[in-house]
Structure 1
């Protein structure tokens, strides 16, 4: 079963977030190679966990594109975490607005698309 347009847009947001995490992991890996890490085991663990998160986002993107409800649920959890992280960053001084917008805006858009997709799919199944 193929998902409607809203689900495809939500899947695109999830995939873009997964790609951003891969880029972040690569940047961290380059920093590790340059000797910027204070603790090698902690740096490796951060990279591995970041790549696991990216793999989860790619899986949720694939599942959302396929119309799977489990994928929308997992994607929603990631979006709520992204929005929470963006709001938490507002407490730091000076506020890094690029990070707040770069994490919060895709999280809010992804959240709205996933909810709208679920509602539309539910309305379609009731007819």
Structure 2
């Protein structure tokens, strides 16, 4: 049980859209990821998804009952995608993010678009 440097954790890998698990809180993973370009539209039917932008800018497209909208997050900003909401993260210039998700949650959700080569469908990788 030692402090974890998020800067060092992020510096330990180069892969994008491939989160690393830095610690656990109860039954949740705390994951960090580097992102650039577009992810895929996907939904987590049974869990919310928490995003914190550590660096850069993250855009999250949302498909809601009232239509589509995009949330733009800058460094230090947080947003929670409610369970059952289709969403698509993206970052034109790249970003570093921190996520909270229940342990074992698949990054591409329960339903998703076709998974391109640049997207890692995973439950998170150890640092």
Asked if TM exceeds 0.5, the reply is no
TM-score, structure 2 normalization: 0.30
TM-score, structure 1 normalization: 0.30
Structure in which a larger fraction of residues adopt strand: 2
Structure in which a larger fraction of residues adopt helix: 1
> In terms of Rg, which structure is larger?
1
